[in-house]
Amino acid sequence: GQQLNQSPQSMFIQEGEDVSMNCTSSSIFNTWLWYKQEPGEGPVLLIALYKAGELTSNGRLTAQFGITRKDSFLNISASIPSDVGIYFCAGLGGSNYKLTFGKGTLLTVNP
Amino acid sequence: SQTIHQWPATLVQPVGSPLSLECTVEGTSNPNLYWYRQAAGRGLQLLFYSVGIGQISSEVPQNLSASRPQDRQFILSSKKLLLSDSGFYLCAWSLSPTGPPGFGSGTRLTVV
């Protein structure tokens, strides 16, 4: 089946630093999604990308849908302590309903 | 606006006991509904999805089953729980098969 390789697995940064994480796949996806999950909660959608090359921002977050449709990245600028959580990428390929999730990036922000 | 409710938040059940987790969606009709399981390794695994009342598709053979008795109600069940059924269960919904799912707050199930 389709797999997503998400990196890094974890990040420890200082408040104010910028963050970058990415997902790659050997398969083509039609939709890329980025979620954030806080402890004990369900994932919350941050950004949805629907077109190759699309660059979308949501506040301090920016994500891009790779031109090859096999990758996506998420950047967080000027991190703050409330950015702490696990960030997941997810891709939707040729088979509907079946989102493929990355294993997540655990972000820790030191004040 | 649409909201999704999932309960209970936590559950501790003995091995061999039955399970019923419920999820309801408000503010929309005919949603696509999903059950995911999240193991300690963080990955989310799709267990079941439904595009309409009484229609259930299973992604992974397992000790669990799902039902959709009403348009906006999705239930995850088991007749006899196994230790390996422990995990974090998430209900999700979307407006269309290609729409991004919105997740419930999850149920932490511990089988002892």
Contacts of residue B12, Cβ cutoff 8 Å, sequence gap at least 6: B109, B110, B111, B112
Task: In whole angstroms, give the CA distance from residue A59 to residue A48.
Answer: 14
Q: Cis ω on the peptide bond leading into residue B97 (within 30° of 0)?
A: no
Mean pLDDT of the A78-90 span: 96
Is the Cβ–Cβ distance between B66 and B35 less than 8 Å?
yes
Is there a contact between B100 and A41 if contact means CB atoms under 8 Å apart?
no
Q: Which two tokens stand for residue A100?
A: 């493929």
% residues pLDDT > 90 (chain B): 82
Per-residue buried b or exposed e for B20-39, using 16+ beta carbons within 10 Å of the residue's own CB? ebebbbeeeeebbbbbbbbe
CB atoms within 10 A of CB A73: 18
Is the Cβ–Cβ distance between A79 and A15 less than 8 Å?
yes
- Between B6, B43, B105, which is nearest A101 by CB? B43
* pLDDT at position B5: 95
* pLDDT at position A95: 60
Amino acid at B43: G
Comparing C-alpha atoms, which of B66, B64, B61, B63 is closest to residue B49?
B66
* pLDDT at position A96: 61
* pLDDT at position A94: 66
Give the pLDDT confidence of B19-43 residue by residue, as tens digits.
Answer: 999 999 999 999 999 999 998 767 8
Chain B nearest C-alpha distance from A102 (Å) = 7
Give the pLDDT confidence of B71-98 residue by residue, as tens digits.
Answer: 999 999 999 999 999 999 999 999 988 8
| Cα nearest neighbour of B59 on chain A | A98
Give the pLDDT confidence of A38-61 residue by residue, as tens digits.
Answer: 988 999 999 999 999 999 999 999
Task: Categorize the per-residue pLDDT at A81 as very low, low, confident or very high, splitting at 50, 70 and 90.
Answer: very high
* pLDDT at position B11: 97
Task: Categorize the per-residue pLDDT at B69 as very low, low, confident or very high, splitting at 50, 70 and 90.
Answer: very high
Amino acid at B101: P
% residues pLDDT > 70 (chain B): 98
Give the pLDDT confidence of B40-53 residue by residue, as tens digits.
Answer: 767 899 999 999 99
- Between A35, A97, A104, which is nearest B49 by CB? A97
| Cα nearest neighbour of A34 on chain B | B100
Task: Categorize the per-residue pLDDT at B64 as very low, low, confident or very high, splitting at 50, 70 and 90.
Answer: very high
* pLDDT at position A82: 96
Average pLDDT, chain A: 93
